[in-house]
Amino acid sequence: MKLALIGGKIVTPFRVINNGAIVIENNKIWELGRVTDVEITDDCEVIDVSGKTITPGFVDLLVHGGGGFAFADGKDESVAGVSQYLIEHGSTTALASLYAKPKDQLLSDVRRLAKFIKNNPDSNLVGIHMEGPYLNKALKGCMNEDYLWKPTVESWDEMWEASEGLIKLMTIAPELPGSIAVMRKAASQGVVLSIGHSMANYEEVLLAIDNGAAHVTHMFNAMEPFHHRKPGIILAALMNKELKIELIADTLHVHPAVMEFLLKVKGASSIVLITDSIRVGGMHEGEFEFADQKVFMKDEKAILADGTLAGSTLTLNKAVRNMVRTANASITDAVRMASLNGAKVINAKKGILAAGKDADLVILDNDFEVEMTIIQGKIKYRRDAK
């Protein structure tokens, strides 16, 4: 059985095709174009999406939880719960993110996630992002300082073995003693290294690039502010094309004017929209927990008791909307930053709509709310059926 989506605005994400049609066969896109140019055969299930926007499925490289669940909860039900929450907000590919914990607990989390991913090959979870544990205590953000590890190749080897090779991305502070050796080993194993929660100066960032760093975690957050005489991560990220930058486009972590500035200076090809969502995403106001610390949720903002931002409640469909409506991004650029760019970071064949590509798609209404999510050609979520 084939599936045909007709009448929608297709964002490829390099072009917009108005009154478009997409034919899906099995798990691939078979044909795509204007309705008048696409053959809709009798064996197609036809869904009219007129007035809607069809985009590639979103790719979230940094997400800890949502919908009341977290990847670090210690049970498969929570992993499945976050996965479903992401699907309902258009994320067809994601890295399950973990934060620093005491060694035995963190290794247990890594093993459990690795087994879940291997046992659920049709899931939207394709790997692990270790946000730590090799982070600088001076810029720990909402991390628990007591749980940060000293960088050693031996402890990295334990994490890598526990992950069964599924750690795809690791946030690390390259200035810490021992970090460069860890980075070199991880890079040799295909892990993408991201600079974050770090006090690194400009020269230390360049050294990190030479030793595998290709990414910057949640730009502007958990790093020193820009200083014209003491340049650090921010200037290095803007100046060096080797580095892609993650952006939490919730308008809280980064002001819309700064989001627009990043787009103009760094360019849409080098920005990856991420959520950094924690379990409070999609939840009511109240008190929750992150890394054994109290988190307070109000007005879609999650903070620790001292006012520090604790992750976010963002979803990628809202990140796209915010880029378009508050940062003057084109719809093509906004969608690209939420899909193709992240897919390229982890070498996933996702994020673009064309014949022969994986049929991972999202249908959005005019307010960027998710109407339908399709993964590998299968409808995984329909808002009208919820």
Tell me the two tokens of residue 55: 């985009």
**What is this structure's pTM?**
0.94
Asked whether residue 85 falls in the same domain as residue 164, the answer is: yes
40: Cα separation from own chain's centroid: 34
Give the tens place of pLDDT for each residue, 336-351.
999 999 999 999 999 9
Query: What's 153's domain CATH number?
Result: 3.20.20.140
Asked whether residue 140 falls in the same domain as residue 200, the answer is: yes
Domain range for residue 232? 58-345
pLDDT of residue 4: 97
Q: How many domains does the chain fold into?
A: 2
Asked whether residue 36 falls in the same domain as residue 80, the answer is: no
Q: What percent of the chain has pLDDT over 90?
A: 85
Query: What's 6's domain CATH number?
Result: 2.30.40.10
Tell me the two tokens of residue 296: 């307070």
Q: What percent of the chain has pLDDT over 70?
A: 93
Asked whether residue 109 falls in the same domain as residue 39, the answer is: no
Asked whether residue 134 falls in the same domain as residue 41, the answer is: no
State the pairing for strand pair 65-66/58-63. Answer: unpaired
Interhelix angle for 103-119 vs 76-87, to 10°?
Answer: 60
Asked whether residue 332 falls in the same domain as residue 365, the answer is: no
Give the residue numbers marked as catalytic. Answer: 276
pLDDT of residue 280: 75
Give one DSSP letter per residue of 284-310, joined into a string. PSEEEEETTEEEEEETTEEEETTS-B-
Q: What is the pLDDT along the chain (386 residues), one digit of tens a residue?
A: 799 999 999 999 999 999 999 999 999 999 999 999 999 999 999 999 999 999 999 999 999 999 989 999 989 999 999 999 999 999 999 999 999 999 999 999 999 999 999 999 999 999 999 999 999 999 887 788 899 999 999 999 999 999 999 999 999 999 999 999 999 999 999 999 999 999 999 999 999 999 999 999 999 998 999 999 999 999 999 999 999 999 999 998 999 999 999 999 999 999 999 999 988 776 545 566 666 667 776 666 666 767 666 667 899 999 999 999 999 999 999 999 999 999 999 999 999 999 999 999 999 999 999 999 999 999 999 998 76
Asked whether residue 84 falls in the same domain as residue 184, the answer is: yes
pLDDT of residue 285: 56
Residues 346, 375: Cα–Cα separation, whole Å: 18
Asked whether residue 50 falls in the same domain as residue 177, the answer is: no
Question: Residue ranges of the alpha helices (H) in the chain?
Answer: 76-87, 103-119, 153-162, 179-188, 202-210, 233-239, 256-265, 316-326, 331-338, 340-345
pLDDT of residue 386: 62
pLDDT of residue 33: 97
Asked whether residue 139 falls in the same domain as residue 36, the answer is: no
**Among residues 330, 345, 360, which one ends one of the domains?**
345
Asked whether residue 31 falls in the same domain as residue 150, the answer is: no
CA dihedral 332, 26, 128, 345 (to 10 degrees): -40
Asked whether residue 135 falls in the same domain as residue 198, the answer is: yes
pLDDT of residue 286: 58
Residues 88, 69: Cα–Cα separation, whole Å: 14
Give one DSSP letter per residue of 208-255, joined into a string. HHHTTEEEESSTTTTBPPP-SSS-BHHHHHHH-TT-EEEEE-SSSSS-
CB 337 within 8 A of CB 321: no
Give the tens place of pLDDT for each residue, 223-242.
999 999 999 999 999 999 99
Asked whether residue 251 falls in the same domain as residue 264, the answer is: yes
Residue partners of 84: CB distance under 8 A and separation at least 6: 67
